[in-house]
Amino acid sequence: MSDHLFAPLRLGELTLPNRIVMPPMTRARAADGEVPTDMMAQYYQQRASAGLIISEGTQINRQGQGYAWTPGIYTAEQIEGWRKVTAAVHRAGGRIFAQLWHVGRLSHFSLQPSGQAPVAPSALVADGVQVFIDPQSLGATHGTHGDGQKVQHSPPRALATAEVGILVRDFAAAAESALTAGFDGVELHGANGYLINQFLDSGSNHRTDIYGGSLRNRLRFLEEVAHAVATVVGPERVGVRLSPLITAQGTTDATPESTYLAAARLLDKLGIGYLHIAEADWDDAPLMPATFKEALRQIYSGVMIYSGHYDRSRADEALALGWTDLVGFGRPFIANPDLPRRLQLGASLNTGNPALYFGGSAQGYIDYPYLDDVLG
């Protein structure tokens, strides 16, 4: 195998020691008030040998929450909780970006302010798409932290035009809070069927104002958010995650290649630091055509990240072909806090326990053994 994966890379003012990214993964272990915990700080610190860590999705406001026990970054307590996380990562020599998140329609009234309906570009329901909630929020008398209940997301209401501008400002405020909390940069979550993705895709955006209809209008929300956040933190400290061909959470586009090449061109014009492409990560998922990846590479001149069912061999191939600079390893990082070392040595990997991925305690979170523990 080649050494591409372990070569350093410059990202803005950061020097990444390797090309291995820990991508954002929801773990649902925040405390009451959606505050990051000391246990979360330990979890991220354990994985600080990644070239870059991108935090789990972090809601920019209460309205942006779609699942129980996910962290926010809009209160003083949440910012202080994240400050402990970033300090722990930095003490271990790591680098960490905050992923800024608004789920849009993929929420439930029990998670929303005053039990209101979730918001979206258009009042469309993604049938069969579930979110997980705290049963106690519906009046259950039993259940523990992490004992979530899956339910169909609640029917959303369409955002008024004036409200869209408020959300742009909330993203910018969250970016400023991320800097206060000690993050090295921020990533905008524009993938996997959440709010920015809902504006981008023609199947989820039926608006008739300046944010809907034409491709130019459907790109407008992404452009305004990216510009506002870049103004706060600097464009080189901003990444954007997109999922051009993933339709798993109800977002579909009539012409995805045209739409996402246009989005890449827009982000390149803004000077955004990196573009993070999420590929489908299930075994029989359709692969992005090589021609599509090559076209994205030609259009976007910044750093490229690809995530989705990568192993050492696939990562080496992607880097050698030149259409990416960094590779995200998702689930392997859950069970292998020292994943870069294991990959470099060709060592066996711990197997994760999916039943413990979301919510709960230290079990299945910070108790996976390091390679040295296994070797003795």
Catalytic residue among 43, 44, 67, 194: 194
Q: Coil, strand, or helix at residue 272? A: coil
**Residue 279 is which amino acid?**
E
- The 3-class secondary structure across 220-235, one letter per residue, is HHHHHHHHHHHHHHCH
The two structure tokens encoding residue 14: 């950061």
Phi, psi of 280 (to 5 degrees): -60, 140
Of 277, 264, 263, residue with least CA distance to 305: 277
Task: Identify whether 194 is a catalytic site residue.
Answer: yes
- The answer to whether 19 and 51 are in contact (CB under 8 A) is yes
**Rounded distance, CA 222 to CA 191, Å?**
11
The two structure tokens encoding residue 8: 């350093």
DSSP state of 113: G
- The answer to whether 73 and 40 are in contact (CB under 8 A) is no
The two structure tokens encoding residue 253: 């586009």
The two structure tokens encoding residue 172: 């910018």
- The answer to whether 280 and 307 are in contact (CB under 8 A) is no
Phi, psi of 299 (to 5 degrees): -80, -40
Of 112, 108, 105, 95, residue with least CA distance to 61: 112
**Rg from Cα positions in the chain:** 19
Residue carrying the six token digits 């895709």: 201
- The answer to whether 366 and 42 are in contact (CB under 8 A) is yes
Q: Coil, strand, or helix at residue 109? A: helix
The two structure tokens encoding residue 208: 């008739």
CA terminus-to-terminus distance, the chain: 26
Q: Which residues are catalytic?
A: 194
